[in-house]
């Protein structure tokens, strides 16, 4: 047995410390277990990362004090995954371990919830008591209590007293004289306690689904060398059904499964489909769980009570010990990348976890990320395509409308971004009793406030972006830092009253739609309307019931929704986002347009999509219209290859934030000099420069961008620089490995 344990202490040090294992604990100290160790002048909790027989610090070693908590033990494979993350994403060991464990479990403040229940201690004695005291008025309460408990042992006090029609004092009397025993029963804080779902059976798979499932089976049974499959399936091709049946296969082999979905698509609709198929075997993790619920769900997984987890990013770290399958739905989603340290990409970590635990990984999408698609084309991943909708329903027809031609004729009322074609199409739907979704990925009323007299644009003083105008509140708000001011009535700069609001947001589209389509029920869904108290679920529920004719929204409505009566999707302005200074701008636009378009025609009537744009000749828009992912990939990939942007090479961004612009820029230049020796020929460096959004929350931002191959040494140097070096006061550094965006 090993004598020494390497322990990571819950402190922000990128270091593990060696401790002696006290012989009485030797059998129970294993990798991943939580221990209490002396540290400085006090004791701290930590996790055992490794075991060994010798240490470089042999003489000075302290001894582990005790086991922290027998229940919280991380599987060894997860500890390995954490070490890989710390190395690859250049974060500390401790940051990596933190992301493996929800705070509710790690911090030890949440306790299991229990309920006191009562039962008769010895039935024989209880019966004797009932017999001896029958009819005695003073003993009525006790007799009733015993009768109830003999029939139904294990009742909680409130239910018991109710049934026995008595008060608490006879119960206390019975406990005192030993006729009734009380005990603590573990309670689950059940997030589903208020809803039930009807069970569903597997649907007979169609040919494409059958083929996909065969490949999954081969992976699960170890007949396929590669462990990752890319499932490229158009919207409504039945991917979710493939996931469900794949999970069932894993369960048959006694292995568990993790399903990752973007938080935004963790809608009750999606969750219900999984619950309907797997009932109590499933645990759902999302950001709206209370700490108590999260604690209980984690322990149910850890104790092997559930076999399936559905959740957002962090569900990837579910402590299964017999993992068989990981599914990453909508694998192209940018939200799989965590925005604070460790800045890991859940899809990539999923691939690594699958490798470490010999689990199959399915990446699914209608618009795969270029990274995954390239891996599939180069045969590192198994590629499975499902290019037809279920039952061969047609993909929606897509029409492009040129917004430049939308100007009103003389004498015609100006209808903003509603072109005649769009208005007509909506009117037809209203007459037929069908529903419409209108999409615009910008909330608020107007994108900016402009003085027509002096050209002043109202902007946030803390960030380098214009304020957005919100008409209902008569406020200007900054969408980066959240600050708000009252909308001025005349120009704060020159005093003129000629204020113009330009660039429409969802709030404006909502008010225009209400004016154009009188009598129609128009509802807006974006983070503002949700904050104002209209819950996500409530709106979707009304939409499903047909109480809403036109649903207007931001990307919140782009994903995962399945409403058969929606026959028209209007994209108000497809160009938004297209010209952002980011190499993924086209990819994001293509994905978003495809996803939104996929909401149309999921029922019996063929759907129609109207894409409004100022640039109908733009290549990305053209490929989105023809819904041709492969052609778009070929097109955009040539651009990336020419510039060595991912997936042609990796991308690492070193970010600087500083209150003082000058000092920030100087320090960035200094760091560049330190890093230069590690930048060989195959690495392209963009020298220190202001970030595209130069200032956020009063801090100036600079970045150095590295891209290319063979980055190991540079990565090591960057790790040293960001984690070990002391930076000047007031300057923050952070590194983003495989950055998803340059903004």
Q: Which does 478 bind (CB under 5 to 8 A by kind): ligand ADP, Zn ion, none?
A: Zn ion
Q: How far is the CB of 103 from ligand ADP (least distance, A)?
A: 32
Q: Does residue number 208 form part of the binding site for ligand ADP (CB under 6 A)?
A: no
How long a stretch of residues is the chain?
Answer: 743
CB 507 within 8 A of CB 443: yes
Q: How far is the CB of 477 from Zn ion (least distance, A)?
A: 9
Instruction: Please tell me the count of residues contacting Zn ion according to CB under 5 A.
Output: 6
Stretch that binds ligand ADP, among 10-18, 85-93, 201-209, 721-729 (CB under 6 A): 201-209
**DSSP E strand stretches across 273-359:** 282-285, 308-311, 323-329
Q: Does residue number 239 form part of the binding site for ligand ADP (CB under 6 A)?
A: yes
Distance CA 205, CA 188 (A): 36
For strands 499-504 and 446-451, give the pairing: antiparallel
Q: Which does 205 bind (CB under 5 to 8 A by kind): ligand ADP, Zn ion, none?
A: ligand ADP
Stretch that binds ligand ADP, among 57-65, 151-159, 199-207, 417-425 (CB under 6 A): 199-207
Distance CA 599, CA 607 (A): 8
Q: Does residue number 206 form part of the binding site for ligand ADP (CB under 6 A)?
A: yes
CB 7 within 8 A of CB 37: yes
Q: Which does 203 bind (CB under 5 to 8 A by kind): ligand ADP, Zn ion, none?
A: ligand ADP
Residue closer to ligand ADP, measured from CB, 374 or 389: 389
- In the list 94, 241, 528, 575, the residue contacting ligand ADP (rule: CB under 6 A) is 241
Q: Which helix (H) or strand (E) holds 524?
A: strand 522-525
Instruction: Please tell me the count of residues contacting ligand ADP according to CB under 6 A.
Output: 14
Task: Please provide the DSSP assignment of 176-243 as one string.
Answer: HTTSEEEEEEEE---TTTT------PPPPP-HHHHHHHHHHHHHHTT--S--EEEEEE-TTSSHHHHH
Stretch that binds ligand ADP, among 109-117, 239-247, 282-290, 499-507 (CB under 6 A): 239-247
Q: Does residue number 475 form part of the binding site for Zn ion (CB under 5 A)?
A: no
Q: Does residue number 554 form part of the binding site for ligand ADP (CB under 6 A)?
A: no
- My answer on whether omega of the bond before 647 falls inside 30° of 0, hence cis, is yes
* Of 256, 258, 250, the residue nearest 222 (C-alpha): 250
Q: How far is the CB of 250 from ligand ADP (least distance, A)?
A: 18
Q: Does residue number 236 form part of the binding site for ligand ADP (CB under 6 A)?
A: yes
Q: Does residue number 478 form part of the binding site for Zn ion (CB under 5 A)?
A: yes
Residue closer to ligand ADP, measured from CB, 488 or 603: 603
Residue closer to ligand ADP, measured from CB, 236 or 740: 236
Kindly list the strands in the beta sheet with 446-451, ordered across the sheet, starting from the edge strand earlier in the chain: 484-486, 475-477, 468-470, 446-451, 499-504
Q: Which helix (H) or strand (E) holds 443?
A: none
Distance CA 303, CA 321 (A): 10
Q: Which does 460 bind (CB under 5 to 8 A by kind): ligand ADP, Zn ion, none?
A: Zn ion
Residue closer to ligand ADP, measured from CB, 479 or 599: 599
Q: Does residue number 235 form part of the binding site for ligand ADP (CB under 6 A)?
A: yes
Beta bridge partners of 477: 468, 484
Q: Establish how many alpha carbons lie within 13 A of residue 338's alpha carbon, considering only the half-sphere containing its beta carbon.
A: 21
Residue closer to Zn ion, measured from CB, 460 or 522: 460
DSSP for residue 33 = B
* Of 20, 30, 27, 25, the residue nearest 54 (C-alpha): 20
Residues 6+ apart with CB under 8 A from 122: 179
Distance CA 403, CA 422 (A): 11
Residue closer to ligand ADP, measured from CB, 32 or 233: 233
Q: Does residue number 585 form part of the binding site for ligand ADP (CB under 6 A)?
A: no
CB 326 within 8 A of CB 350: yes
Crossing angle between the packed helical segments 140-151 and 157-164, to the nearest 10 degrees = 120
Residue carrying structure tokens 């229990």? 114
Sign of torsion, CA 406 412 414 416? negative
The three-class DSSP label of residue 470 is strand
Residue closer to ligand ADP, measured from CB, 6 or 559: 559
Residue closer to ligand ADP, measured from CB, 240 or 302: 240
Q: Does residue number 233 form part of the binding site for ligand ADP (CB under 6 A)?
A: yes
Q: Which does 659 bind (CB under 5 to 8 A by kind): ligand ADP, Zn ion, none?
A: none
Q: Does residue number 265 form part of the binding site for ligand ADP (CB under 6 A)?
A: no
Q: Which does 233 bind (CB under 5 to 8 A by kind): ligand ADP, Zn ion, none?
A: ligand ADP
Q: Which does 235 bind (CB under 5 to 8 A by kind): Zn ion, ligand ADP, none?
A: ligand ADP
* Whole-number Cα distances in Å, 17 to 51, 101, 334: 11, 20, 36
Q: Does residue number 481 form part of the binding site for Zn ion (CB under 5 A)?
A: yes
Which residues, numbered 362-391, are part of the site for ligand ADP (CB under 6 A)?
390
State phi, psi for 32 to the nearest 5 degrees: 95, -10
Q: How far is the CB of 238 from ligand ADP (least distance, A)?
A: 3
Q: Which does 168 bind (CB under 5 to 8 A by kind): ligand ADP, Zn ion, none?
A: none
* Of 540, 536, 560, 559, the residue nearest 548 (C-alpha): 540
Q: Which does 156 bind (CB under 5 to 8 A by kind): ligand ADP, Zn ion, none?
A: none
Tokens of 352: 């690594």
Residue closer to ligand ADP, measured from CB, 99 or 365: 365
- In the list 203, 454, 490, 669, the residue contacting ligand ADP (rule: CB under 6 A) is 203
Q: How far is the CB of 393 from ligand ADP (least distance, A)?
A: 9
The three-class DSSP label of residue 32 is coil
Q: Which does 462 bind (CB under 5 to 8 A by kind): ligand ADP, Zn ion, none?
A: Zn ion
Distance CA 93, CA 78 (A): 12
Q: Does residue number 601 form part of the binding site for ligand ADP (CB under 6 A)?
A: no
Distance CA 507, CA 543 (A): 18
* Of 487, 527, 503, 479, the residue nearest 693 (C-alpha): 479
Residue closer to ligand ADP, measured from CB, 270 or 658: 270
Which residues, numbered 446-465, are part of the site for Zn ion (CB under 5 A)?
460, 462-463
- In the list 11, 25, 163, 205, the residue contacting ligand ADP (rule: CB under 6 A) is 205
Q: How far is the CB of 526 from Zn ion (least distance, A)?
A: 19
Tokens of 285: 């993790």
Number of Cβ atoms within 10 Å of the Cβ of 350: 25
Number of Cβ atoms within 10 Å of the Cβ of 18: 19
- In the list 95, 209, 265, 477, the residue contacting ligand ADP (rule: CB under 6 A) is 209
CB 359 within 8 A of CB 227: yes
Which residues, numbered 387-416, are part of the site for ligand ADP (CB under 6 A)?
390
Q: Does residue number 238 form part of the binding site for ligand ADP (CB under 6 A)?
A: yes
Stretch that binds ligand ADP, among 82-90, 229-237, 452-460, 491-499 (CB under 6 A): 229-237
Residue closer to ligand ADP, measured from CB, 437 or 487: 437
Q: Does residue number 200 form part of the binding site for ligand ADP (CB under 6 A)?
A: no
Q: How far is the CB of 207 from ligand ADP (least distance, A)?
A: 10
- In the list 92, 237, 265, 369, the residue contacting ligand ADP (rule: CB under 6 A) is 237
Q: How far is the CB of 268 from Zn ion (least distance, A)?
A: 34
Q: Which does 372 bind (CB under 5 to 8 A by kind): Zn ion, ligand ADP, none?
A: none
Tokens of 44: 């701290």
Buried/exposed code over 22-51 (b: 16+ C-beta within 10 A; e: otherwise):
eeebeeebebbbbbbbebeeeebbbbbbbb
Alpha helices in 221-332 (DSSP H): 239-252, 268-278, 291-302
Which residue ranges make up the site for Zn ion (CB under 5 A)?
460, 462-463, 478, 480-481
Which residue ranges make up the site for ligand ADP (CB under 6 A)?
203-206, 209, 233, 235-241, 390
């Amino acid at each position: 047995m090993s004598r020494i344990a390497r322990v990571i202490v819950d402190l922000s040090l990128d270091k593990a410390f060696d401790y002696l294992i006290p012989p009485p604990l030797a059998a129970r100290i294993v990798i991943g277990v939580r221990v209490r160790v002396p540290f400085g002048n006090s004791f701290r909790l930590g996790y055992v990362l490794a075991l060994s027989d010798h240490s470089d610090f042999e003489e000075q070693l302290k001894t582990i004090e005790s086991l922290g908590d027998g229940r919280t033990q991380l599987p060894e494979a997860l500890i390995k995954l954490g070490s890989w993350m710390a190395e690859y994403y250049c974060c500390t060991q401790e940051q990596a371990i933190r992301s493996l464990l929800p705070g509710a479990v790690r911090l030890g403040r949440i306790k299991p919830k229990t309920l006191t229940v009562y039962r008769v201690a010895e039935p024989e004695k209880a019966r004797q008591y009932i017999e001896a005291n029958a009819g005695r008025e003073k003993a009525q309460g006790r007799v009733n209590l015993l009768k109830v408990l003999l029939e139904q042992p294990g009742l909680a006090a409130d239910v018991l007293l109710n049934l026995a029609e008595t008060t608490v004092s006879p119960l206390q009397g019975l406990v005192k004289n030993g006729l009734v025993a009380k005990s603590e029963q573990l309670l689950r804080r059940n997030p589903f306690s208020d809803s039930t779902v009807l069970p569903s059976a597997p649907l007979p798979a169609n040919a494409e689904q059958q083929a996909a499932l065969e490949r999954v089976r081969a992976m699960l049974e170890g007949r396929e060398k590669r462990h990752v499959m890319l499932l490229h399936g158009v919207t409504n091709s039945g991917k979710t059904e493939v996931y469900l049946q794949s999970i069932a296969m894993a369960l048959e082999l006694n292995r568990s499964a993790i399903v990752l979905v973007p938080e935004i698509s963790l809608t009750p609709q999606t969750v219900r489909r999984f619950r309907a198929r797997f009932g109590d075997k499933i645990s759902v993790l999302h950001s709206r769980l209370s700490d108590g619920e999260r604690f209980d769900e984690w322990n149910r997984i850890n104790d092997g009570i559930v076999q399936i987890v559905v959740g957002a990013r962090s569900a990837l770290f579910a402590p299964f010990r017999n993992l068989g399958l990981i599914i990453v739905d909508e694998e192209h989603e940018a939200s799989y990348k965590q925005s604070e340290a460790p800045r890991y990409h859940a899809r990539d970590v999923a691939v690594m976890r699958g490798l470490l635990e010999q689990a199959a990984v399915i990446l699914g999408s209608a618009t795969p990320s270029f990274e995954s698609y390239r891996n599939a084309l180069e045969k590192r991943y198994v590629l499975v395509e499902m290019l037809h909708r279920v039952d061969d329903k047609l993909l929606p027809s897509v029409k492009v409308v040129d917004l430049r031609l939308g100007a009103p004729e003389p004498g015609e009322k100006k209808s903003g971004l509603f072109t005649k074609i769009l208005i007509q199409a909506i009117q037809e739907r209203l007459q037929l009793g069908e529903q419409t979704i209108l999409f615009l990925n910008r909330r608020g009323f107007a994108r900016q406030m402009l003085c027509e007299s002096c050209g002043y644009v109202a902007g946030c003083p803390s960030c380098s972006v214009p304020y957005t105008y919100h008409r209902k509140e008569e406020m200007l708000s900054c969408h980066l830092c959240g600050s708000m001011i009252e909308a001025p009535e005349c120009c704060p700069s020159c005093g003129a009253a000629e204020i113009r609001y330009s660039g429409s947001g969802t709030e404006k589209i909502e008010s225009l739609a209400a004016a154009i389509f009188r009598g129609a029920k128009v509802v807006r869904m974006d983070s503002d309307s949700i904050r104002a108290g209209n819950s996500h679920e409530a709106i979707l529920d009304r939409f499903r019931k047909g109480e809403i004719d036109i649903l207007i929204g931001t990307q919140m409505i782009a994903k995962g929704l399945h409403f058969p009566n929606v026959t028209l999707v209007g994209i108000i302005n497809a160009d938004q986002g297209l010209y952002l200074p980011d190499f993924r701008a086209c990819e994001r636009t293509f994905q978003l347009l495809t996803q939104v378009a996929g909401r149309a025609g999921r029922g019996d009537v063929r759907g129609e999509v109207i894409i409004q744009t100022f640039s109908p000749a733009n290549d990305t828009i053209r490929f989105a219209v023809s819904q041709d992912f492969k052609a778009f990939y070929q097109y955009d990939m040539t651009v990336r290859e020419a510039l060595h942007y991912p997936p042609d090479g990796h991308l690492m961004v070193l970010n600087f934030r500083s209150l003082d612009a000058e000092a920030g820029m100087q320090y960035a230049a200094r760091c560049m000099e330190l890093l230069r020796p590690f930048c060989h020929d195959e690495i392209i460096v963009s020298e220190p420069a202001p970030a595209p959004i130069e200032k956020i929350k009063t801090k100036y931002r600079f970045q150095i961008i590295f891209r290319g191959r063979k980055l190991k040494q540079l990565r090591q140097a960057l790790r040293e620089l960001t984690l070990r070096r002391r930076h000047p006061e007031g300057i923050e550094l952070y590194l983003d490995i495989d950055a998803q965006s340059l903004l």
